[in-house]
Amino acid sequence: MRLRALASGSIVAGILAAAMALGVAAPADAAGLGSDAFGDSNLLNYRSTLTGAALYAQNSTAAKTAWGSNYVANVTKSAAAARAGAVYGNIESVPDAIPIRQMGDIPVSPKLLGNWKAPRFTGVGLNKPSGVVGATVAMTAFQYRADIANGVTSWLGIDATGAVCGSSWASSGFVNFITGQDCNAFDASQAAKDAANQDVVPGVSGGKVCDPAAPAYCITLERIATYPPNPNYGGLCFAETGPASSGTGRFALAFSDGVVDYTSSGGDGGQNLGATCPAGQLWVNGYRGASMPYARAQLVTRYGFANGARDAWAASTPVVTSDGDPDRQLLCTYTFSDGTSANGVTTSFKDGEAMPAPLCPVVPSGLTAKHIKVEEIGGGVDNVLTDQDAAPDTLTTVPDGFTANAPAGVDATYCQTNVCLLDLIDVKSNDTCFDEAATCDGWFSDPNRDADYKCTYGGKDADMQQCYMYAHVFNTSKRLAGDAYADPKTGEDVGGETGPDLDTQTMGNSPAPAINPDGSIISCLGGTYAAFNPLQWVLRPIQCAAEWAAVPRPAVIEADIQGVQHSWDQTAPGKLANAVAGWNLQPVMTGCAGYTWPNVYGSGKSLTMGNACPGQPLAALAVWSVRITDVLAVVGGGLALVRIGSRAFGQEGPDR
Amino acid sequence: MIVEYLVGLGCTIVSWLTSLLPSWDAPSWFTGFGASFNGFFANFDGFGAWADWTLIGAVLTAVLGSWLAVAAVRLLLFVYRLLPFTGGS
């Protein structure tokens, strides 16, 4: 199971890496952004393309991490990553804790154990230490029941995971719970391939092949119609040319597992299972009779049909072929500054596998790339992955819209000879927050934010909004909680995970200065030398030192608590508590119409019981019922509370 | 800084201890119990006029909550008695 998860994770990582590579070459649309790469609505892209490489190459380690992590998060919005995400969903994080089953590997001195012996678990007596140990062992064994079972059955050559997860009955019911098999990633590679190739139109890639047994008869498979709501069904649409069948010809389907079956064939156009066949096309449905995990029906043959009896199957030579997993390529086309263009094509790859970086052409000397277009081709499709003007770091001229966001005087030419970094500056010290992260802690919520901080790009003042992406980077609690990402347009929390070392890197090793509640730096010496006051000269520094040493910053304490909370939430008791907290038990019983029993014993008549709506005979009785049950509930509940409370303090009732 | 360090150290220890607990994902039938529970009673929505179900629900919640609270206290006392040099043997 872990190997399956590892393999699945590797595939996704490969796709993401390819997406990143694609993003480096063509960042804007590869990140799922609009073609208006430099418009006001595309601040994120502006930041990524303009500041990315320079920030990563020249700023601090913290900046690298912050930018890199954000960029990865943004790039995952690309078409390829979204496609993978739709298949895999959330990939489980690999726990970094020592599993309790490995605690035996921790060396313990025999002297420390003394004469202690492992208690015998009798299965009873849970109020004794031996019972607690036994129960813990049993619970641990149950927790790892799937690993244990898989290990044992693998010795016998049995695929326990496949046995459970391959059955729709077992994989989603009590059997799955008892066996503990994780079916989430079962056959994920096939699921990925099936989902990734949904754009393949059968009949286009494979073309049409005439039936060798009836050379004049040709069929073109137009559409495969799988039917997800009921996996037992599949169907397809097709067009035929040749002699009129006149009701004597029927068609068979081959499903993804190779089984050939037939139930019905239809007429001209109309509703098929899962798809509507266009006018002029025929349809045929197939009922597999058993679940097809990933149905992909294929029209295989034509057989005779006369007088209500089917003839024997004809030769199973497919009359139509289609490649469900065709070869793909990435086509990268540059349009140069002189209007000419050139392209490059990658080697073939399969959809659902790692996508290679686009192989873009070399820019001729004296020209610049003005426009870039990357397409995924193959399988009869042409998916445009990006189609945009080139990023400014490959230009020598300023593209339209660039000056709307960039500070005055900063353009592509300026950035060729200057360090173009997006930076947040602490106005008090006139230093970058990347060097004094603790001072800038909580800068985004500072009521005097615009006065206390300024945003610069390329050393020139930029609009403060451009630095909203750093809203949580300089926020201790957010950062320690692994949630340092912010919407670059609004500064709002967007969730996500940061690297575990981001805090250390950002905070640096220098001690943080003492901060007043209003955010200003405490002056431990200022002002006290203006007058002769030896007491203050000594007291004030000591007071500062004591405050620095003893008074914790609320944000840090809050972050510590959040860290413990996060750890607890990952444990079984934590998840159990969260699951129970999420139950939201709020049954609603406010109606008065009673209960209606439809079609009583097949009589075609319904029976209504307990209808106490106004005007009904039972309405008055229901009023008294409410009064009586209210009294019973209050008195009974009160007595129960008294009994529970009294026994909690040692008072036992006579019936005990 | 000293208090922060001590608090951070304590939290690190607690986090490490909690990380030793086995991981577990609640099965869907357990996480979806609330919906099943509410859905079951939705079948009897038409009997709302026969009793003040809100009051009855509150009473049942109070009784069950009190029982659980007492049980939790007893469990804590039980664990406390297992600790050496405290109340245990």
Question: What per-residue confidence (pLDDT) applies to A496?
Answer: 56
DSSP string, A65-77: HHHHHHHHHHHTT
Q: Yes or no: say if A261 and A218 are a contact pair by the CB < 8 Å rule.
A: no
Pull the structure tokens for residue A398: 């300023």
Identity at A22, one-letter amino acid code: L
Which sign, positive or negative, has the C-alpha torsion A221, A227, A230, A231? positive
Interface contact A556-B4, CB threshold 8 A: yes
| A556 in reach of chain B (CB within 8 A) | yes
Of the candidates A590, A626, A634, the beta carbon closest to that of B59 is on: A634
| DSSP secondary structure string for all residues of B19-34 | HHSPP----HHHHTHH
Contacts of B56 in chain A (CB under 8 A): 629, 633
Q: Per DSSP, what are the bridge partners of residue A102? A: none
β-bridge mates for residue A250, sequence order: A303
Cβ–Cβ below 8 Å for A587 and B59: no
**What's residue A562's pLDDT?**
79
How crowded is residue A102: how many other Cβ atoms within 10 Å of its Cβ? 10
Complete edge-to-edge strand list for the sheet that includes strand A264-272: A209-210, A218-226, A233-241, A275-287, A264-272
* DSSP code of residue A356: P
User: Is B38 in Cβ contact with A637 (below 8 Å)?
Assistant: no
Question: What does the angle CA A246 – CA A227 – CA A169 come to, to the nearest 5 degrees?
Answer: 125
Q: What angle do CA A368, A373, A374 make, to 5 degrees?
A: 125
Cβ of A100 and B22 within 8 Å?
yes
Strands (E), chain B: none
**Token code pair at residue A493:** 């929390």
Q: Find chain B residues with C-beta within 8 A of A144's C-beta.
A: 22
Structure letter (DSSP) for residue A551: S
* Count of CA atoms in the C-beta half-sphere (13 A) of A431: 9
How far apart are the C-alpha atoms of A97 and A106, rounded to whole Å?
14
B45·A589 Cβ contact <8 A: yes
Residue of chain A whose Cα is closest to the Cα of B34: A583
Q: Is A456 helix (H, G, I), strand (E, B) or coil?
A: strand
Q: What is the pLDDT of residue A184?
A: 65
**Residue A28 has which token pair?**
């804007």
- pLDDT of A416 reads 63
Q: Closest partner residue to B37 among A177, A585, A626, by Cβ?
A: A585
- Block residue for tokens 């990563």: A56
A230: exposed, middle or buried (Cβ count in 10 Å: 0-12, 13-18, 19+): middle
Which residues of B fall within a CB distance of 8 Å from A629?
Answer: 50-52, 56
Q: Chain A closest CA to B43's CA: distance in Å?
A: 8
pLDDT at A631: 92
How far apart (Å, rounded) are the C-alpha atoms in residues A52 and A188?
Answer: 34
Residues within 8 A of B (CB atoms), A 505-524 only: 511
pLDDT of residue A523: 57
Contact yes or no for A160/A151 (Cβ under 8 A): no
Of A132, A595, A640, the CB nearest to B47: A595
A 324-343 residues with CB < 8 A to B: none
Task: Please indicate whether, in this complex, the C-beta atoms of A582 and B59 are within 8 angstroms of each other.
Answer: no
Identify the sign of the CA torsion A60, A62, A65, A70: negative
B59-to-B40, B55, B66 alpha-carbon distances in Å? 20, 6, 11
What residues of chain A score a pLDDT lower than 50? Answer: 1-60, 62-64, 66-126, 201-212, 214-217, 226-229, 243-249, 263-275, 290-297, 301-322, 392-404, 498-515, 517, 519, 526-528, 655-656
Contact A250, A238 (CB under 8 A): no
Give the CA distances from residue A225 to residues A203, A230, A263, A473, in Å, rounded to whole numbers and listed in that order: 13, 12, 15, 49
Residue pair A455/A423 in contact by the 8 Å Cβ criterion:
yes
- Which chain A residues are closer than 8 Å to B62 by Cβ? 637, 641
pLDDT of residue A610: 84
Are A645 and B66 within 8 A, CB to CB? yes
- What tokens does A419 get? 């360090």
Residues of B in contact with A560 (CB under 8 A): 4, 7-8, 11
CA A140/CA A162 separation, integer angstroms: 24
Q: State the number of CA atoms in the 13 A half-sphere of A518 facing the CB.
A: 4
Q: What is the rounded CA–CA span in Å between residue A229 and residue A224?
A: 15
Please give the distance of CA A378 from its chain centroid, rounded to a whole number.
28
User: What is the rounded CA–CA span in Å between residue A448 and residue A518?
Assistant: 10
CB interface of A with B, residues 561-580, below 8 Å: 561, 563-564, 566-568, 570-576, 579
Contact B46 A593 (CB under 8 A): yes
What pLDDT, on the 0 to 100 scale, is given for residue A633? 92
Q: DSSP character for A119?
A: P
If one counts every other C-beta atom within 10 angstroms of the C-beta of residue A131, the result is 16
Give A296-348 pLDDT, tens digit per residue: 445 554 444 333 333 333 333 333 334 556 778 889 888 887 888 998 898 88
User: What's at A440, amino acid-wise?
Assistant: C
In contact, A181 and A165? CB cutoff 8 Å: yes
CB A563 within 8 A of CB B21: no
Question: Do B56 and A629 count as a contact with CB atoms less than 8 A apart?
Answer: yes
Secondary structure letter of residue A470 according to DSSP:
G
SS3 A241: strand
Residue with tokens 């036992």: A652
Q: Which of residues 106-125 of A touch B (CB under 8 A)?
A: none
Contact B30/A587, CB-based, under 8 Å? Answer: no
Q: Which residue would you say has higher pLDDT here, A178 or B53? A: B53
Check A594 against B46: CB less than 8 A apart.
yes
Task: Note which residues in 21-80 of chain B have CB less than 8 A from chain A.
Answer: 21-27, 29-31, 33-34, 37-38, 40-53, 55-57, 59-60, 62-63, 66-67, 70, 73, 78
Residue of B nearest to A632 (CA): B56
| Of residues B2, B15, B51, nearest to A625 (C-beta) | B51
d(CA A363, CA A474): 40
Helices (H), A172-292: 174-179, 188-196
User: Cβ separation of B19 and A98 shorter than 8 Å?
Assistant: yes
CA distance A11 to A17: 10
b/e code B57-68 from CB counts within 10 Å (16+ = b)? bebeeebeebbe
**Residue A111: its pLDDT value, please?**
37
Which among A93, A128, A544, A589 is the top mutation candidate for probing chain B, defined by the most B β-carbons within 10 Å of its own β-carbon? Answer: A589
Enclosing H/E stretch for A302? strand A298-306
What is the distance in angstroms between the Cα of B73 and the nearest Cα belonging to chain A?
9
Residue A607 C-alpha, separation from nearest chain B C-alpha, in angstroms: 14
Query: CA end-to-end span of chain A, whole Å?
Result: 52
CB of A467 within 8 A of CB of A552?
A: no
Distance from CA of A548 to the nearest CA of B (A): 6
Q: Which residues of A touch B23 (CB under 8 A)?
A: 95, 99, 143, 570-572
